[in-house]
Amino acid sequence: MEGIVLDVVVAESGVFLSGIVLLLFGFAAILMGYIADQQRAGKRFFWTGVSIPEPELGDFLPKGVGIHRAG
């Protein structure tokens, strides 16, 4: 009897978590669609135009070592 109860509880939690994940994906898709429509209409969102700064290749090299490029 205990095996049946545990089996049902495990199955229900998997269905519940799957439903939550699908709900979050749906919410994200709706939000991205709304943002795309607003940007197409000309409204700008301040956080969508910010690019992430990337370090230069020279930042990773030890001092005194140059970059040799094929020519």
Q: How far apart are CA 39 and CA 48, in angstroms?
A: 10
pLDDT band at 13 (very low <50, low <70, confident <90, very high): confident
User: How far is CA 5 from its chain centroid?
Assistant: 37
Averaged pLDDT, 13-38: 89
1: pLDDT strictly greater than 60: no
pLDDT for the residue 19: 84
Quote the pTM value: 0.50
User: How far is CA 33 from its chain centroid?
Assistant: 15
Averaged pLDDT, 7-32: 83
With CA atoms as reference, report the closest residue to 37 among 25, 27, 49, 45.
Answer: 45
pLDDT for the residue 24: 96
Q: How far apart are CA 39 and CA 33, in angstroms?
A: 10
